[in-house]
Amino acid sequence: MSLSSDDVEKIAHLARLAVDPADTESLSRDLSNILDLVEQMQAVDTDGVLPMAHPLEMSQRLRVDEVTETDKRELYQSNAPLKENGLFLVPKVIE
Amino acid sequence: MSELHDKTLAELSAGLAAREYSSVELTEHYLQRIDDLDGQLNSYVTVTAERALEQAKSADARIASGDAGPLTGIPMAHKDIFCTEGVRTSCGSKMLDNFISPYDATVVTNLGEAGMVMLGKTNMDEFAMGSSNETSYYGAVKNPWNTDCVPGGSSGGSAAAMSARLCAAVTGTDTGGSIRQPAALTGITGLKPTYGRCSRYGMIAFASSLDQAGPMTKTAQDAAMMLAGMAGFDPKDSTSADRPVDDYVAALGQSIAGLKVGVVKEFMENDLDSGIAASTQAVLDQLKKQGAEIVEISLPNAHLSVPAYYVVAPAECSSNLSRFDGVRYGHRCENPKDLEDLYKRSRSEGFGAEVKRRIMIGTYALSAGFYDAYYIKAQKIRELIAEDFQKAFKQCDVIVSPTAPETAFGIGQKTDDPVSMYLQDIYTIAVNLAGLPGMSIPAPLSGGMPVGFQLIGNLFDEARLLNVAHQVQLATDWHKVTPEGF
C-alpha cells in the first residue's frame, strides 16, 4: 500500500489538518508503512464472521429523561479561547 | 524500619491508623522526593503541592474521627489524562496546555472520596499515543533504572514516578498496553481491568472501545486496594459495566495449587529475546513450584492483533479528536482567515506528529469506499481474537506471556520508525481487543533491567489475577528490587 503526496493532502483535508509541503514525503512514507502493517489483515478469511460491536456484548443503556445537569455555561466557557455574551466566537461564515 | 516511600499501601494504611506518622508528614515526604529527584526523570507535568497538603489535613482529620478507609491519607498521582477540577489537564498535548478542567473524572472522584491525597499529574505520551513517553509535549520521561532509556508508554510518567517511589500509587490508562508495557519496563505492578470495570467518564478519550483505567503500584496487593477504590458502575459512562465489584483484597489469600496456567505458544517461539525468555521461564518455574499446572495454549489469530489495532484505534481516535477545533477549548491559532483555516491551523499547531499520523490513518480507514476493507475487517478479526481467548480459557484459568518483547530501549532509538514502536505492544494488544483484564508483574531482571510477566484473565476475573500475582509476590522478591539512586 503506497500513498501518494496527493492522497496525503486529501486525507489531511478530510481530517482538517494542514500539512507542511516539506513534510508530505516523509508523512506519505510513514502512513504507507503503517498501512502495510495493517494489510496483514487481508491474509485471513473472515467470511461469515460477525464484526465485534462491543467487547462485553452490551446494548446501549438508556436513562430516565430527567434533568440531571444544572447550568454551568460560565464555568464551561472559562476555557474558551474567544467568547462574547456566552457565545463562542469564530471567523465570519456568512457574508 | 524501611523508608516511608518503600512501604506498601497496606503498611502505610496501618501506620496512619496507628499514628506513627500523619498524612501531612507522608505527603511532605513525597513532595520533598519529587522536588529532589524528579528533575532527573520528568515524570510529573504538574505538582499540586498546596492542594495535596490541604487534602492531607482533611485526611488526618478523617483518621482522627475514626472515619478513615484503607486508602485515606495515602499520597498518589493521576496520569494527566484524567480530568481534575481546577487543575490543568493536558493529556501530554500542546492542544490542552491551557486547559483547566471544570470537573473531575469519576476515577478521580472515587479515589478522592476514599481519602487519597493527589500529589500531581504525571507525564504521558500525547493523548496516550505512544509506547515510550517520547511523544509528550512536555518532553520525554526517563527510566529510573537507566536515565538514557525510555520508561515505556503511554503511562510512562506514572511508571517512572512509581518505580522511583515518587508516589505511593498512581493511575494509568491502557488502550493497547499503556499500563502493562511501562510497568514491565520500570519493574512495577500494573493492572488493566476488564473493559468497562473503571469508569471512562472524564478520562480523555483516545479509542473508546479499548480505553480502560487501572492502577500502577509496587505490589499486587496494592493494586487490589487501588482497584477497589477505582472500580464501579458509573451511569455517566455509557459503557460502564453494571455489575458488583468483587472484593479484590479479600480474594488475595488463596493457594494457587492446581491452578491451570496457559502459556501462549505463539508468544514464546520465533525470535523471542533470550533474556526475556529466561525471565519468563523463571516465573513459570515459580508458579509450578507453588503447585500450578502449566499447559500450552494457542492464540492462532494473535499475530493479527497489531494490524487490527492500528485500524480500530486510529479510527476511533480520528473521531474522538475531531472535537479539538480551536473553538470551545484548547489551542486556537492566531488570526484565522476563515473557519477552515481556524480548524486546520489550530489542530496542526496543537497536535504532535504521532497524533496527526494516527488521525490521518483513522480518517483514511473510515473514508468512503475503505470502511469495509479496514474498519469492518478489523472488527471481524477482533471477534476472532476474542473467540481464541474463550477457547483457551476452556483449557486454563489464567493465560501468561511476556509483557513486552524487550527491556527498556534507548531514548530516540525508535522515534523515526513508527511501526517498530507499534511492535512494542505485540503481547498486550490482543487483550484490549478482547476487552479482557491483563496484568504485568516484575519478573527477574535481564541485563540489570526490569522485565514484565503478563497475566491475562477472563472477563471480570481481576480478583483471580490479583491473587495469582500476590501469591507469586509472597514467595519471591522480584517486585522488591528498586532502581539505584532513587
Tens-digit pLDDT profile for residues A48-65: 999 998 888 777 888 899
Stated pTM of the model: 0.97
Asked if residues B74 and B117 have their Cβ atoms less than 8 Å apart, the reply is yes
Chain A: closest CA distance from residue B337 (Å): 7
ipTM given for this complex: 0.96
How confident is the model at residue B25, as a pLDDT? 98
Q: Which of B327, B348, B364 sits opposite A17 (nearest CB)?
A: B348
Hey, are the CB atoms on B364 and A11 less than 8 Å from each other?
yes
Exposure string (b/e) for B35-66, b if CB count within 10 Å is 16 or more? eebbeebbbbbbbbeebbeebbbebbebbeee
How confident is the model at residue B1, as a pLDDT? 46
Domain boundary assignment for chain B? 4-254
Q: Is B328 on the interface with A (CB under 8 A)?
A: yes
Alpha-carbon gap, residue B197 to B241, rounded angstroms: 6
Hey, are the CB atoms on B98 and A14 less than 8 Å from each other?
no
Hey, are the CB atoms on A17 and B304 less than 8 Å from each other?
no
How confident is the model at residue B30, as a pLDDT? 98
Nearest C-alpha in A relative to B343: A16
How confident is the model at residue B142, as a pLDDT? 98
Hey, are the CB atoms on B379 and A11 less than 8 Å from each other?
no
Give every CB contact of residue B458 below 8 A, 6+ residues apart in sequence.
B389, B390, B393, B436
Report the alpha-carbon angle B265-B269-B270, nearest 5: 145
**Residue of B89, B91, B78 whose CA lies nearest to B120:** B78
Chain B: closest CA distance from residue A24 (Å): 11
Q: What is the percentage of chain A residues whose pLDDT exceeds 90?
A: 79
- Cα dist from A29 to A40, B131, B375, B429, whole Å: 18, 21, 22, 24
Q: Is 60 exceeded by the pLDDT of residue A26?
A: yes
Asked if residues B436 and B400 have their Cβ atoms less than 8 Å apart, the reply is no
Chain A: closest CA distance from residue B73 (Å): 30
Nearest C-alpha in A relative to B318: A15
Residues of chain B with pLDDT under 70: 1, 270
- Helix, strand or coil for residue B302? helix
Name the H helices within B38-126: 49-64, 106-113
Chain A: closest CA distance from residue B129 (Å): 14
Residues of chain B numbered 161-190 and touching chain A (CB < 8 Å): none
B8 dihedral zone (left: phi>0; alpha: psi -120 to 50; beta): beta
Instruction: Please give the class, per CATH, of domain B4-254.
Output: alpha beta
How confident is the model at residue B407, as a pLDDT? 98
How confident is the model at residue B128, as a pLDDT? 98
DSSP B237-267: STT---SPPP-TTGGGG---TT-EEEEEHHH
Residues of chain A numbered 28-57 and touching chain B (CB < 8 Å): 30-31, 33-42, 44, 46, 49-56
Q: How, if at all, do strands B117-122 and B75-79 pair?
A: parallel
Q: Which of A15, A33, A93 sits opposite B359 (nearest CB)?
A: A15
Give every CB contact of residue B475 below 8 A, 6+ residues apart in sequence.
B286, B289, B290
Asked if residues B437 and B191 have their Cβ atoms less than 8 Å apart, the reply is yes
Q: Which of A37, A60, A75 sits opposite B419 (nearest CB)?
A: A37
Domain boundary assignment for chain A? 5-42
DSSP B82: B
Bridge partners of B190, per DSSP, are B216, B440
Give every CB contact of residue B37 below 8 A, 6+ residues apart in sequence.
B164, B166, B486
Q: Which of B238, B307, B340 sits opposite A38 (nearest CB)?
A: B307
**Catalytic residue positions of B?**
79, 154, 178
How confident is the model at residue A94, as a pLDDT? 84
A-B contacts at Cβ under 8 angstroms: 161
Strands (E), chain A: 83-84, 87-88
pLDDT digits (tens, 9 = 90+) for B436-478: 999 999 999 999 999 999 999 999 999 999 999 999 999 999 9
How confident is the model at residue B271, as a pLDDT? 81
- Helix, strand or coil for residue B379? helix
How confident is the model at residue B67, as a pLDDT? 95
Please give the mean pLDDT across all residues of chain A: 92
C-alpha cell at B181: 508495557
- Chain B residues closer than 8 Å to A92 by CB: 338
DSSP B141: P
